[in-house]
Amino acid sequence: MNLPTSVIQRLQFLCRVTERESKLLQQTSQRLFVPVFSVDWVRQLDAQPELGERVDAFVSRFGRLQDTLGDKLLPALLAAHGERVATVADNLDKAERLGWVPSADNWFAMRALRNQMVHEYVEDPLLLFSALQAGYGYLPDLLFAVEAMHSQARKRGWLT
């Protein structure tokens, strides 16, 4: 399929953005979760501003990458691929069938988790700890989606 230059440029831009976002998220994850991440650590957020900043960075970068992938790159890639772009749920189901995301259900769980990470931050260290651990556990799903969507763009010759 011959795509207009503007569509290819948009796909290339979104791939560059998601590549950068995934790298930043991985770097932040390494600083936050390695070597030891515990509920006691989370309880110290108020006393350790640098730890709080790492948590904020992880939550922000997690959400930003998920948003850019699901709300921007996925619809653009589906349209370029000749697929009908529909609701987020339909797009994610289609992406799962195409092998671009491991699980549409996990994607929605990640979105709910992100909201929990943001809103539980102040109230309950144990809930925040659990949410952050779960978010870290979903990191491979996000990275898989980045690679799968970029691979599809490369396969079609839209990304070099």
- pLDDT tens string 105-136: 999 999 888 878 776 555 788 888 888 999 99
How far does CA 102 lie from the centroid of its chain? 12
What is the C-alpha radius of gyration for the chain, rounded to an integer number of angstroms? 17
* pTM: predicted TM-score of the whole model, two decimal places: 0.91
**Using one digit for the tens of pLDDT, what is the confidence trace for 49-64?**
888 888 889 999 999 9
CA distance 77 to 5: 14
- Domain map (residue ranges) of the chain: 5-155
Whether residue 51 contacts residue 45, with contact meaning beta carbons closer than 8 Å, is answered with yes
CA distance 126 to 72: 33
Fold assignment, 5-155: Four Helix Bundle (Hemerythrin (Met), subunit A) (1.20.120)
Mean pLDDT of the chain: 91
